[in-house]
Amino acid sequence: MTRHVFIGLLGGSPAVITEALWALLYPEKLIDPARRGFERIVPATAHIICTSHPGFFGDTDERERVIREKIESLFKQAGDPPPDLIMAPAPDPNNADLGLIDIRTQAENTAMAHHIAEELRKYTEKPDTVVHFSLAGGRKTMSSHAQSAMMFFGRRQDELFHILLTNPAYESFAVRDFWYPDQKWPARLMPPPGSSSGEKELSATHEDVGIDLIDVPFVRLDVRLPGNPPPEALDPDLIVEFLEFERGNDPVVLDFEAKTVTAGRNIIRLEPVQFALYTVYAVARHKCWRGAGPREEGVGDNASGWVRLDDLKYGMKDENTPNPKPALLLLRGVLWELDDNQKERDNDPDYRLADKSIAQRAMNSHPFLGNEDPNWGPTRTHLSDEFNQEKTKRNHNSRLESPLIASFIAPDTSWPKRPVTNGLNIAPERIRFENFPNWFNNEWLEVPNAGSRPIT
């Protein structure tokens, strides 16, 4: 069942909320004849995005109470159940417990942009919702942020609009108690300051003051963000950067010498064991290894591109003979090249016991990998954490890695689904390998499922 959601921006004039809702409930009374044939919309949710400034109300509680009363009155008059009301002040970046009082500074505008994008995305992720977003109300920058958010996350069924009163006099602060056309009480015109005359009643029928609903076209970019991004990831600049990276099909480059993974303008440097594991995942995806795939594919002949966790453990042909899988052989080879200490350990026969997994050895020497569960510890989400926490330099200035791109290129896992599989969600053709040893290029990139370079 379709659920209609109204989202409105609120500044100092709360009537823009009820006016916009009236326009959705009474399309036959709108000024534009083309809108009069539109379907009547009864929102199940009214989500108001605002600051914590109460305007001409005593406080935010009074503001919410009065707006709720007027919305309930409107819907009762229309014969419809009132919507669930959500008042959502944007959080203050300097104090998470407070809402933004205003949006004047760059930091305040950024916080509001994040808030609008996140609140909208919650609804557009649900296929059974239709969003009706009103730009009326709030500062102009709020409307700009709303339009950007709709471009990022709006779908074909969602609409963006603005409303205007046909009689501008009713938009004056001298007019009080006007909330929507055909309301059951008269509006009041206040006398000018210093005047001895009293207030006057004004008619509030839709013939006296009508509403124009103006459709605002927007480009639907259909952004699908990877994972569950944190609020700071919804910075419009970061979304644009991710879009450019995605739409440009930019490669994800593994550089063996630098031990880095580069995606767009983002560079992440990894420790040897992390880089070796990432290389295994990248080769499996790039060469479409058979047997395991992402969550939706699972394991089997029709699955490809991922690695089973068991492939990173030693198997045994018999009591004394190891039978390692290609993934583990590749992991050994890359680690052998990257880690001088590993070379020394591999030259020690006592350390090459068949029942010791190189992934487990690496994990034991790198406690950041975690080892709560021996069944999947070696490929735990340590790589995802690393990608989300790494810093990169742009023009010699450090900044946090783009959470969106980092999430996109970070390894994923099918945990707790059994058997556990791990891998990358990057398109195989976008993965590139640079400055790798010749044995790697010859044996792993050219020959699918090839054996590894012998360890001597």
DSSP string, 330-358: HHHHHHHHH-HHHHHHHT-GGGG-TTS-H
CB 41 within 8 A of CB 24: yes
pLDDT of residue 84: 97
Closest Cα to residue 243, out of 441, 404, 80, 35? Answer: 404
pLDDT of residue 136: 94
β-partners of residue 164 are: 212
3-state secondary structure of 27: helix
pLDDT of residue 92: 87
3-state secondary structure of 450: coil
CB 422 within 8 A of CB 411: yes
CB 394 within 8 A of CB 327: no
- Token code pair at residue 31: 């000024």
**Please, what CATH class does the domain formed by 3-224 belong to?**
alpha beta
DSSP assignment of 419-438: S-EEE--S-GGGEEEES--H
Cα–Cα dist 199/176, whole Å: 10
| Overall residue count recorded for the chain in this entry | 456
Q: Cβ atoms within 10 A of the Cβ of 364, count?
A: 11
**Side chain identity at residue 364, one-letter code:** N
3-state secondary structure of 255: strand
Closest Cα to residue 39, out of 18, 15, 19, 23? Answer: 23
Going by their DSSP bridges, the two strands 252-255 and 260-263 should be labelled as antiparallel
Q: Residue 379, exposed/middle/buried by CB under 10 A (0-12, 13-18, 19+)?
A: buried
Listed in sequence order, the residues at least 6 apart from 80 whose beta carbon sits closer than 8 Å to its beta carbon are 25, 42
Q: Cβ atoms within 10 A of the Cβ of 82, count?
A: 18
- Token code pair at residue 165: 């009163």
β-partners of residue 131 are: 5
CB 212 within 8 A of CB 163: yes
Going by their DSSP bridges, the two strands 45-50 and 84-89 should be labelled as parallel
Stated as kind and residue range, the H or E segment containing 67 is: helix 60-78
Domain(s) of CATH 3.40.50.10770: residues in the chain: 3-224
pLDDT of residue 80: 96
CB 56 within 8 A of CB 13: no
Closest Cα to residue 138, out of 179, 102, 99, 177? Answer: 102
Cα–Cα dist 31/210, whole Å: 7
Note if the bond before 428 is cis, omega within 30 degrees: no
Q: Cβ atoms within 10 A of the Cβ of 131, count?
A: 24
Which residue carries 């992440």 as its tokens?
Answer: 268
pLDDT of residue 57: 84
pLDDT along the chain (456 residues), means of 10: 95 93 95 86 96 86 94 96 92 81 89 91 93 95 94 94 89 83 87 71 85 92 73 75 83 93 86 88 93 84 86 63 74 79 50 38 35 36 46 33 76 74 89 92 63 36
- Token code pair at residue 89: 């002040």
pLDDT of residue 405: 80
